Chains A and B, each alone.
Chain A
C-alpha cells in the first residue's frame, strides 16, 4: 500500500506542484486547504505524514498540530512544517510541538522528499 501524505497548504499552485512531486515518489496525496479541513482530513484518512503550512485561513499550522496531538487517532502522525514566513520563533515553536522537521519556502524538493522518507522510517530529522 502506498504511504499516504496529507498536504495542508492554502496555495493551490503549491498543492498542484507538490502533488505531482509526491505522486512521482510513489506516495498517495490528500490535500487540505485550511485549518478545519486539515483536522478533518487527518481524522478521516489517517495519513502517514502531514506536511503542514503555518499561515492558513481559519487558524494556523500550530493550532492544527495541537489539535492533532490532542486526539489519540492522530497524535502519533509525524508533522513536517512548511512556511514562507521568517517571523522569529516559528522554528522553536515547531520543535516544541514535536514536529519532525521544519522547511522554509521555497525549498528544494529533494530535501522535502528526504525528510518524508526519514519520517516514514521513524527517524527524527537531525537537521531540524
Chain B
C-alpha cells in the first residue's frame, strides 16, 4: 500500500461533529484502485488540485479497500469500478450497510452511465468519468460530496435532537398529567369529607339549626362545589395541553340531557328570579354524544348565563336540527345579561384571557370553562360561536353532528377526530 502523504490521525471525519468543509480544510482520501497506473494518475490529479494538506491513501484490492473503509479514518472514498474479479458497485453496496457514512465517489470508465446511475441509486455521493477527470472537476466533485455529507450529518443530528426532545416532552407530559391527577385526588379526598360533614350538619343530623345557620352552610356547600369544579377544570386544561382530552360518544337523548342540566341549575336561576326556558325542535332527540362532556358544555354555558344575567332576566336554551351535511343539531343559550364588550368577544374562548391585566372578568373562576367548552365541541366535530351586545345580552351557539362518528362524512370531522 502506498500513500501520497502519511495518513493523518488528527482527522476524525465521519463523526457527527465534523465541521463544514472549508476550502482549505485538510482532506484525507482513500482510493480503492487495482491499477497502479491509474492510481498514479489519480494521485497526480489530486496533487494538481492544489488543495492544502490533501492526503491520499491507496488500497490496491477490493478486500484491502473494505478493511480500510471499516477503520473510519478517511473523509472521502474514491472507488474504481473495476476491482479485479469484483466491482466498485459491489464494494459500494457493502460499504453502504456499515455505519461509516463518509461520502463515496465512484470512478467509472467512459460510457459507464448505467454504472453511474446504479452507484447513485445505491448511495454514492457522485461519480467521475476517469477519461474526463481534471484537477478542477475532481476537486469540485470532492468538495461537493464533502459538503453534501456534512449537510446530511447536520440534518441527521437535528433529527436526532428533535426525536430526543420529543421523547423528553412526551415523558414530561405524562409526568405532568400524573402529577395533576394525584393532586386532584389528594385535594378531592378531604373535600369529600368536608362536603359530607357540612352536609350532615345542614341536614340536621348533628342537631337542630337556625335558618341563618342553614344559609351559611348552604353557602359553604356551594363553595365546596365551586372548588371541585375548579379542580376538574384544571385537570381538563392539563388534558387539553397534553392532547389527552378525549370523548366517548354514545347514542343519547339530547332533550333529556338538556332537561337534566336545566333542572340542576334551575334553583340558582330561581334564586335570582331568572326565567329559564327550553325549546327544542328535533326530528329525533337521539344524538351521538359524550353525555358527561356535553352536560359539562351546557352547564358551563348556562351557569355563565345565570351569573351575568341580572335578576328578573330570561335565559333561552334551544336545540334544533340544521340543514347541514352531515345532519347536525344546533344548540344555543341566550341570555338578557350585561353582554360582552366587542374587544373581549374575539378572545372569549382564549385560555387565561381574563387573567391578563386590565381585562374585566368574563366568566367566573379561572376562566378556563369556555376554553374547555370549545375543545369539547371540537372533539364532537362541531364548532361554537358567540354573539353579544353590551347591555342587551349574549348568545352562545354551537353545532355538532348528530350521527355516529364513523358514519359522518369523514372529511368534516377528521381534523378533530385526530385530536382524540
Contacts and interface: CB of A to CB of B under 8 A. Distances in A.
Contacts of B228: 106
Query: Which bucket holds chain B's interface residue count?
Result: 20 to 34
A87 interface: yes
A20 interface: yes
Nearest to A20: B200
Given A11-B189, A106-B191, A17 B196 contact: yes
A21 B194 CA distance: 13
Contact of B192 (A55, A84, A91, A92): A84
Contacts of A105: 188-189, 191-192
A21 B189 contact: no
Contacts of B325: none
A88 B177 CA distance: 11
B82 to A, nearest CB: 65
Contacts of A24: 203, 205
Interface in A82-110: 84-88, 91-92, 105-109
Contacts of A16: 193
A94 to B, nearest CB: 13
B244 to A, nearest CB: 7
A87 B292 CA distance: 14
Nearest to B184: A86
A45 to B, nearest CB: 23
A121 interface: no
B286 to A, nearest CB: 16
A36 to B, nearest CB: 20
A26 to B, nearest CB: 13
A25 B401 CA distance: 44
Query: Which bucket holds chain A's interface residue count?
Result: 20 to 34
A59 B72 CA distance: 56
B205 A14 contact: no
A16 B193 CA distance: 9
A106 B191 CA distance: 6
Contacts of A108: 199
Interface in B154-202: 181, 184-185, 188-197, 199-200
A106 B192 contact: yes
A86 B193 contact: no
Contacts of B328: none
Interface of B: 181, 184-185, 188-197, 199-200, 203, 205, 224-225, 228, 232, 235, 244, 246, 248, 292
25 contacts: A11-B189, A11-B193, A13-B197, A14-B193, A17-B200, A18-B196, A20-B200, A21-B196, A21-B199, A55-B185, A84-B192, A85-B185, A86-B184, A86-B232, A86-B235, A88-B244, A88-B246, A105-B189, A106-B191, A106-B192, A106-B194, A106-B225, A106-B228, A108-B199, A109-B203
